[in-house]
């Protein structure tokens, strides 16, 4: 008989030294006010430009709305089939929308779909009100969660990203909440969806055909999220994720002049990451680390195993050396 202990290894700590030694000097610029590229597994920064500059995030704001919804789903506070009654406040919300009517009933699932694909302001408002009972309470919760995640330069005033001087974030902070959202696999059902539809209206007699505002989902290999944004103040923004092989990347671009520029610059960052880096598995979940004898116990030995998988980010030119060792 053996007793098994699991040991958790912190990827962030493991990457600290590697990041200092191996991250090459940046040799290119991006046509955006700020941007960041990180390894999704560890959070390590691969590329950065003005990553702590406070800027309006536009509809990228809705990443936090989706994150709180996913956390409530996983904690069983809500279900995807829960009914949400649309308020007057949500129905009158301007900007991008799916034209919800006051008093109509939608499911949490369809509201998430409308947010992820159409970036619907009315849907994000209705969902926020449902999750916390009122919009003000939900916005308080958004700010509290941002603080918990270490998003030091972020403050939310709404669920939509519509302009407000006190509503701002940074490329770094957006990457933090994006990475946290992707820890909930179910969200990929909507983030990676190119097209969909929902029925709206009190009689559900109108079909809203939804096309993902993030065209990388269709046109970039491995793209699987996350959220676009645009206002006149914010410019064109995008938090994007993509996976090829073992490597998952998150790119955040804020303050581009056109929609095409934000997609081009995002592809530039992702291409750079996939060309220069790969992810190598050091330990898989459950791998045996060591067996230790137990003196004067009911068991003879105990096994130490890894609690989670550990991947490390390595420049591709060093992978051959790593494998030889």
Q: At residue 202, what are phi and psi to the nearest 5 degrees? A: -60, -30
**Among the options 34, 42, 87, 119, which is catalytic?**
119
Ligand-binding annotation for 227, yes or no, is: yes
Q: Give the strands of the sheet with 34-39, arranged side by side.
A: 45-49, 34-39, 247-256, 235-244, 223-231
SS (H, E, C) 35-86: EEEEECCCCCEEEEECCCCCECCHHHHHHHHHHHHHHHHHCCCCCCCCEEEC
Give catalytic status of residue 119 as yes or no. yes
Give the whole-angstrom CA distance, residue 217 versus residue 193: 7
Residue (of 244, 213, 236, 235) closest to 226 by Cα position: 213
Euclidean distance between the first and the last CA atom of the chain, given in angstroms as a whole number = 34
Backbone φ and ψ of 42, nearest 5°: -105, -25
Q: Which residues form the catalytic set?
A: 59, 62, 119
Q: Binding site residues, as ranges?
A: 227
Q: Binding site residues for substrate, as ranges?
A: 227
């Amino acid at each position: 008989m053996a007793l098994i202990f699991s040991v958790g290894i912190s990827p962030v700590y493991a990457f600290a030294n590697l990041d200092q030694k191996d991250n090459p000097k940046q040799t290119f610029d991006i046509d955006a006010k700020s941007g960041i590229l990180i390894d999704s597994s560890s959070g390590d920064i691969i590329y950065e430009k003005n990553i702590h500059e406070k800027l309006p995030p536009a509809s990228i704001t809705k990443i936090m709305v989706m994150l709180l919804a996913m956390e409530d789903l996983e904690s069983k506070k809500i279900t995807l089939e829960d009914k949400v009654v649309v308020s007057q406040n949500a129905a009158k919300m301007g900007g991008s929308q799916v034209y919800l009517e006051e008093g109509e009933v939608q499911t949490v699932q369809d509201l998430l779909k409308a947010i992820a694909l159409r970036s619907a302001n009315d849907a994000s408002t209705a969902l926020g009100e449902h999750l916390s009972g009122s919009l003000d309470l939900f916005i308080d919760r958004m700010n509290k969660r941002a603080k918990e995640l270490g998003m030091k330069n972020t403050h939310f005033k709404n669920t939509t990203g519509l302009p407000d001087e006190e509503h701002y974030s940074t490329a770094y902070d957006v990457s933090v909440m994006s990475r946290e959202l992707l820890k909930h696999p179910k969200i990929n059902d909507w983030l990676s969806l190119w097209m969909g539809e929902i029925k709206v209206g009190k009689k559900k007699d109108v079909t809203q055909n939804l096309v993902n505002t993030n065209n990388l989902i269709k046109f970039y290999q491995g793209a699987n999220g996350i959220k676009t944004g645009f206002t006149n103040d914010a410019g064109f923004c995008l938090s994007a994720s993509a996976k090829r092989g073992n490597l998952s990347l998150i790119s955040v671009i804020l303050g581009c002049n056109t929609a095409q520029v934000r997609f081009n610059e995002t592809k530039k960052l992702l291409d750079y990451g996939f060309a220069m880096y790969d992810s190598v598995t050091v330990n898989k979940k459950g791998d045996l680390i060591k067996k230790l004898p137990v003196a004067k116990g009911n068991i003879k030995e105990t096994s130490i195993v890894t609690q989670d998988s550990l991947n490390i980010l390595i420049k591709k030119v060093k992978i051959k050396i790593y494998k030889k060792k």
